[in-house]
Amino acid sequence: MSGRLWGVGLGPGDPELVTVKAARLIGAADVIAFHSARHGRSIARSVAAPYLRDGQVEEHLVYPLTTETTDHPGGYQGAMDDFYADCAARLAAHLDAGRDVVVLAEGDPLFYGSYMHMHKRLADRYPCEVVPGVTSVSAAAAVLGRPLCERDEILTVLPGTLPPDVLAERLRSTDAAAVMKLGRTFGNVREAFELAGRADEAWYVERATTDAQRTARLADVDPDSVPYFSLALLPSPMNTAFQAPAVAEATPGSVTVVGLGPAGPEWMTPEVRAALATADDVIGYGPYVDRLPDRARQRKHGSDNKVESERAAFALDLARKGSRVVVVSSGDPGVFAMASAVTEVAAEPEYADLTVRVLPGMTAAQAVASRAGAPLGHDYCVLSLSDRLKPWDVIAARLGAAAAADLAIAIYNPASKSRTWQVAATRDLLLEHRSPGTPVVIGRDVGGASESVTITTLGELDPAQVDMRCLLLIGSSQTQSVDRPAGPLVFTPRRYPDSAQELVNKAGRDE
């Protein structure tokens, strides 16, 4: 008769977390098999050591490589397949001889464990049983004292070997998560948490339940200090206040106004990502809200772009009911965006007890300027050509004042479907103060799929090139545009002429 194969889970590292059944089988087995890297130290064997007995045969299964390169014709996978086939043959020899074999496995044998490679090759040929063990995920939650998930919350277990963008998408769409296989992947894993806007919720646990156990906020961990036997844990959001329920119950709702930046998630600050990750409700102009991923139990409220005051009041009313509300703007919320609308309504007496925060974002002016060089490198002003909330006479007066003061100008909202004449009027007004050769940058959808940046001059500015997705940068008298083989550059020097005569000379050269 053949021997019996056992896959025995040892738990996360504390020998006292080995199950009674696992301890009994380890002590009774004829053969004990365990894996290790070339250094020969086996964590599994060290955990099982108190339960071993004299006279047992030990099969030490040494991986041919871990992170090294290989000249095997099948590459890394080919080398590992041959290794597992050889290990299975070694264990099969014992089983054929009637000896019972216990294969030790950290955690649970069928949860990211090496035992499963033996199971796939031997379980259909010999009597086999798997003894489950406490997983590292359960151990990490226990040592942190933070529940994993509750009621209908979703827990997702992910390998850290996934690309950061794929990992981030999975983290956005789940309630709680455990990310395994850290070590060299830690930098990518932390980047994924940041991209998902959930880095501030995440914890790091290393060698849980052992004497070498370490826990920390994920954001505070040095990537160079991370071993393979560690994981990142995103605990239950329903239990974020688990350790201080009395404080949590007394905490009122809040409104946070954030800037998403000019385009995709790479333009968003970690502070904004964190606010979005913990929000109960997200409110904003429909296309901006649609840019954000759907999150479990997070409500999204998109609306038209002409109802800023109503949107602000809606956000504040939700906060009064205890909701954590985030109001989103493109770019920076304080630049022609929702911060002004929200704070104006929040100043009314009925909302005096509500906390309102504003988190900055990358502005469209900064984004467009970065694509051209440094056209805003000296003093500049920011103006909107939209006359929906202020009359054109005010806009024209401010344009004239800025031009007369020789400021570079960033122009938002230059045109729309219903406003088609302001760009030409602005050009003609500025030409009363500026040379026709003044550099102009037209940035369209910067950071987006249809990004384009056009460098022209004030005299040659064609209003037909400008639509509602554009932003204009008009140079000062000192702004220069330089054609180069590596690409043009537009910049405004930080130095300024020492005399009015130098300014006149510069204007004359431009003409």
Q: What is the mean pLDDT of residues 318-334?
A: 92
Same domain for 129 and 141, yes or no, is no
Same domain for 322 and 200, yes or no, is no
Please determine, for residue 500, whether its predicted confidence score (pLDDT) is greater than 60. no
Name the domain count of the chain: 4
Query: CA 146 to CA 138: how far, in whole Å?
Result: 10
All residues at 6 or more sequence positions from 93 whose CB lies less than 8 Å from its CB, including other chains: none
Question: CB of 118 within 8 A of CB of 91?
Answer: yes
Q: What is the mean pLDDT of residues 395-418?
A: 92
Same domain for 322 and 404, yes or no, is no
273 versus 399: the higher-pLDDT residue is 399
Q: What is the mean pLDDT of residues 208-212?
A: 90
Does residue 439 lie within any of the structural domains?
A: yes
Pairing status of strand 128-131 against strand 155-159: unpaired
Same domain for 128 and 146, yes or no, is no
pLDDT of residue 248: 35
What percent of the residues of the chain are helix, what percent strand, and what percent coil, each to the nearest 5? 35, 25, 40
- Among candidate residues 103, 133, 163, the one where a domain is terminated: 133
Q: Nearest 5 degrees, angle CA 475-CA 439-CA 382?
A: 30
All residues at 6 or more sequence positions from 414 whose CB lies less than 8 Å from its CB, including other chains: 385, 422, 423, 426, 466, 470, 471, 472
Question: CB of 353 within 8 A of CB of 252?
Answer: yes
Same domain for 255 and 287, yes or no, is yes
pLDDT of residue 266: 81
Does residue 245 lie within any of the structural domains?
A: no
| Confidence at 170, pLDDT banded by 50, 70, 90 | very high
Name the H helices within 261-359.
270-277, 286-290, 308-320, 338-346
Query: CA 309 to CA 341: how far, in whole Å?
Result: 6
Residue percentage of the chain with pLDDT more than 70: 94
Question: CB of 33 within 8 A of CB of 61?
Answer: yes
**Edge-to-edge strands of the sheet including 281-285?**
299-303, 281-285, 324-329, 254-259, 355-359
Q: Concatenated DSSP letters for 393-449?
A: HHHHHHHHHHHHTT-EEEEES---SS--SHHHHHHHHHTTTS-TT-EEEEEESTTST
Q: Nearest 5 degrees, angle CA 165-CA 167-CA 168?
A: 65
pLDDT of residue 296: 65
- Among candidate residues 79, 113, 133, the one where a domain is terminated: 133
Domain with 397 in it? 365-510
Does residue 87 lie within any of the structural domains?
A: yes
Question: CB of 18 within 8 A of CB of 102?
Answer: no
Question: CB of 102 within 8 A of CB of 53?
Answer: no
Q: How far is CA 360 from the centre of its chain?
A: 17
Please determine, for residue 510, whether its predicted confidence score (pLDDT) is greater than 60. no
Please determine, for residue 31, whether its predicted confidence score (pLDDT) is greater than 90. yes
Query: CA 445 to CA 89: how far, in whole Å?
Result: 61
Average pLDDT of every residue of the chain: 89
Same domain for 422 and 472, yes or no, is yes
pLDDT of residue 73: 87
Query: CA 168 to CA 174: how far, in whole Å?
Result: 10
Q: What is the mean pLDDT of residues 69-77?
A: 84
Question: CB of 295 within 8 A of CB of 172?
Answer: yes
Does residue 246 lie within any of the structural domains?
A: no
Same domain for 31 and 76, yes or no, is yes
Same domain for 353 and 381, yes or no, is no
Query: CA 384 to CA 405: how far, in whole Å?
Result: 18
Length of the chain: 511
Torsion sign over Cα 38, 44, 48, 50: positive
SS3 363: coil
pLDDT of residue 120: 95
Question: CB of 398 within 8 A of CB of 383?
Answer: yes
Beta bridge partners of 59: 33
Does residue 424 lie within any of the structural domains?
A: yes
CATH code, domain with 122 = 3.40.1010.10
CATH code, domain with 395 = 3.30.950.10
Does residue 300 lie within any of the structural domains?
A: yes
Q: CA torsion, points 267, 273, 276, 278, in degrees to nearest 10?
A: 180
Does residue 391 lie within any of the structural domains?
A: yes
Give the helix/strand (H/E) hosting 457. Answer: strand 452-457
Question: CB of 32 within 8 A of CB of 115?
Answer: no
Range of weakest confidence among 96-105, 232-241, 414-423, 478-487: 232-241
| Confidence at 358, pLDDT banded by 50, 70, 90 | very high
Same domain for 403 and 492, yes or no, is yes
- Among candidate residues 214, 239, 264, the one where a domain is terminated: 239
Same domain for 152 and 197, yes or no, is yes
The crossing angle, in degrees rounded to 10, of helices 115-122 and 75-96 is 60
- Residue whose entry in the numeric block shows the structure tokens 């965006």: 337
Same domain for 396 and 464, yes or no, is yes
DSSP state at residue 64: S
DSSP state at residue 336: S
Give the helix/strand (H/E) hosting 252. Answer: none
Beta bridge partners of 355: 254
Sort 317 into a burial class: Cβ within 10 Å, 0-12 / 13-18 / 19+: middle
Does residue 222 lie within any of the structural domains?
A: yes
Q: 177-194, pLDDT tens digit by residue?
A: 999 989 899 999 999 999
Same domain for 231 and 312, yes or no, is no
Q: 241-294, pLDDT tens digit by residue?
A: 434 333 333 346 899 999 999 887 788 888 888 888 888 899 999 999 988 888
115 — phi, psi (to 5°)? -55, -35
